[in-house]
Structure 1
């Protein structure tokens, strides 16, 4: 923990650079430039150091859909975003989140309290931005995440609940599932009759990209193979993913949803 703390101090202690307010026009950032995922590295002047075994808080902006998402230190958070009336202004809707209890909730409380105050944003440099309050004072400092970092939200097992927007009748014991191992960049699951497995690929230049170019499956025959065929064809089309309030959406090259996932 101490080693991690001092490395964060070395990388992120730059509050003194922000004595200017968020009202300075030379640091104005376009609304669309918020796109992507950002680690929360400082809250009201304090360097962020998560407790052991807790995730680093981050916030993601999808300005094309007006969506905010992320992790507040223990739970996932999600909300809406719209540009304000003048350059550098942002309107963040009420923040919703999951309700998991962690050993230390202080960091999460600080993140959510600070997020509720955000009214403006500005650029610090090419890799960092500040979120500011109504008085134009920086209250959150964000650092751009690397392209692969956000893939961790996929980790674990997910029920497949729709394919091509057709609902799949729920059966806890025979429900199609997909499971991601983000450390090994592997995937496996059950398509309705057979098990499938393989790797996935991401394009670090494209936000939320993912594809499954080399899936294999067992070859058992079942009375009906229609659902399995639809799921495997849909997986072959997947090129990106989106986090939603309900779970995840896997989308094709045009951004159209082909599979909906619910955390198991």
Structure 2
């Protein structure tokens, strides 16, 4: 009888231990999810688009914005006239708190919104939500204190027409269907384009300092003759390029600090 009781007790203890193990593992999934959210909020420049329900507009060079430095847990930004900085803490369930911010003391009279109202957002906010490239800073479950959009680098979402390859000007062949071009899609981080005869696509990644890397490049296999450009040489540009420069509507894809591998011009359609 005692043996039966001991055996039953061991079974119960084992069952409890297993259940406890499962329960302690469940929050780990949440941590992964929250870490992913932290990645989203700390890797971007966030531009103010709405404050207390009112749309905010500004010129290209005077956006109100902030960025979060994940390595130092510091925030820095621009409030319309002055720069500001401070510290922040991220916790589970998209909780966020900002320390008292320090700001420069320039006097401006043409700011799109009172700077004190911008800084007050960071004083009050205790959580955030991210949806469709928009970031909302909130207090409790009320309407957002402010809405920010992800900054889009100049290189993406533009139609880049090839102008020169390896220093040589490029002209269309008579039998060429269309001009050689590429587009970087911001939402999918994919590149698509036309190489003179074949279409191509792949993925790209942007990093600080105008660094760019292309991967998983693929092209259709049509055969075309009498082209003024070697498609393989053109596609090799994306294999070699590791940085870019933009001046106005001209884009250079480069490797290191050498002369551009290829030069492109932005084309706008109305």
TM-score of the aligned structures, taking structure 2 as reference length: 0.45
The normalised TM-score by structure 1 is: 0.46
